A = this chain, B = another copy of it.
Amino acid sequence: MAAIYAVIMAGGKGERFWPLSNSRRPKQFLPLVGGEPMLTQSLARLSGLVEPERIFVITSAAHAETARQCAPGIPAANIIAEPVGRDTAAAVALGAGLVRRQDPAGVFVVLTADHVIGPQDVFQRTLADCVDVAAGHEVLVTIGIVPHEASTGYGYIETGDAFEYGGRTRILRAKRFVEKPDSETARRYISAGNYYWNSGMFVWSAATITAALKRYRPQLSPLIESVASGGEPEKVMAELYPGLEKISIDYAVMEKADNVLTALAEFDWDDVGSWPALARHLEADEQGNVVVGEAVFHDAGGNIVHSNGRLTALVGVNDLVVAQGERVTLICPRERAQEVKQLVERLLREGGYEDVL
């Protein structure tokens, strides 16, 4: 098997879990589900498959120190701080350069830092199969999630024929990447049966993704080559990042390339993009209340309470999200949790709330 590298995207801002998450501590650094920060769990999930020295964590300058604290065992030099955010195409290009610098024949997995994934052995088996394929073929492998509902919150991958190889994971040829659909379109995708959610996880050799980036996004070549040839990443980024356009790897490459495969995840996956999504990972009491921390109830049901460090007492209220941040308490109906972002954005515009945002 080729040497496996991992590039972990840990640049998220995590406004959706404000005030639990905030600009100083986004979702990937919080123990939202499980006792450890999501990034720490994401790294632990690779244990035995990827050597710590071959794992790179890409985050923002503001969060580099927090990322280091959440990444015990990972060499400090492997925590890469982007001077400014330039979306995932730039981060993948940077990752390709970092891997090639250590191993021109390296294969790397691109993973997110803030998703819930398990069981670990199934996850690793999927990655290992993808690595086998990516090492032996000039292909870009995306990991597709079998959709369990007609979600409008994810991009979809339309797939075609099976890709034959020796492994156990089902891998299909990708025909088309489509953006978040409306609900009717999503239902059509589900009925069709050959559409999968785009998980944002990818596997490819450093050489193959470099070739794709050069073809479809030549602006990124100087970044890749400077890092691959031994340039100090911080220095290269400081010089080149500000001039880059913000573009995702999906737009920049995946929607255009014709050598894309989709490996179907057999593991459980959730990007935990909302409070109701978070609640699915926690056990509810008889009244349907889900609690992290300490809460008491009197005729109250269906609430999601995150209350570390304080006691939350709910009397006669239903289906609320209550989140106790360090200095802020948020209260909102479960089904309106997505509007929290609007409040946070307004407070940012108005000013005066910087210390709690």
Interface residue from B314, B330, B343 paired with A332 (Cβ < 8 Å): B314
Whether A331 contacts B313 by the Cβ 8 Å rule is yes
**Cβ–Cβ < 8 Å partners of A9 in chain B:** none
C-alpha gap A314/B356 in the complex (Å):
15
Per-position 1/0 for A297-324, Cβ under 8 A of B: 0110000000100111111110010101
Whether A342 contacts B311 by the Cβ 8 Å rule is no
Asked if A12 is at the interface (CB within 8 A of a chain B CB), the reply is: no
Interface of A is mostly: strand
Interface residue from B299, B322, B336, B340 paired with A331 (Cβ < 8 Å): B322
Asked if A52 is at the interface (CB within 8 A of a chain B CB), the reply is: no
Whether A339 contacts B315 by the Cβ 8 Å rule is yes
Asked if A333 is at the interface (CB within 8 A of a chain B CB), the reply is: yes
**Cβ–Cβ < 8 Å partners of A332 in chain B:** 314-317
Known contacts A311-B356, A356-B311: A317-B343 contact under CB 8 Å: no
Closest Cβ neighbor of A333 among chain B residues: B316
Closest Cβ neighbor of A342 among chain B residues: B298
Known contacts A328-B310, A346-B298: A317-B339 contact under CB 8 Å: no
Whether A329 contacts B329 by the Cβ 8 Å rule is yes
**Cβ–Cβ < 8 Å partners of A168 in chain B:** none
Nearest Cβ on chain B to A189's Cβ, whole angstroms:
30
Nearest Cβ on chain B to A60's Cβ, whole angstroms:
24
C-alpha gap A332/B313 in the complex (Å):
8
Interface centre among A332, A339, A340, A342, by most chain B C-beta atoms within 10 angstroms, is A332
**Cβ–Cβ < 8 Å partners of A95 in chain B:** none
C-alpha gap A298/B298 in the complex (Å):
26
**Cβ–Cβ < 8 Å partners of A211 in chain B:** none
**Cβ–Cβ < 8 Å partners of A296 in chain B:** 343, 347, 353
Asked if A148 is at the interface (CB within 8 A of a chain B CB), the reply is: no
Closest Cβ neighbor of A19 among chain B residues: B313
Give me the interface of A with B, judged by CB distance under 8 Å.
19, 296, 298-299, 307, 310-317, 320, 322, 324, 327-333, 336-337, 339-340, 342-343, 346-347, 353, 356
A-B contact pairs, 28 of them (CB 8 A): A19-B313, A296-B343, A296-B353, A298-B340, A298-B342, A298-B343, A298-B346, A299-B339, A307-B329, A310-B329, A311-B329, A311-B353, A311-B356, A312-B328, A312-B329, A313-B328, A313-B329, A313-B330, A313-B340, A313-B343, A315-B330, A315-B337, A315-B339, A316-B332, A317-B332, A322-B329, A322-B331, A324-B329
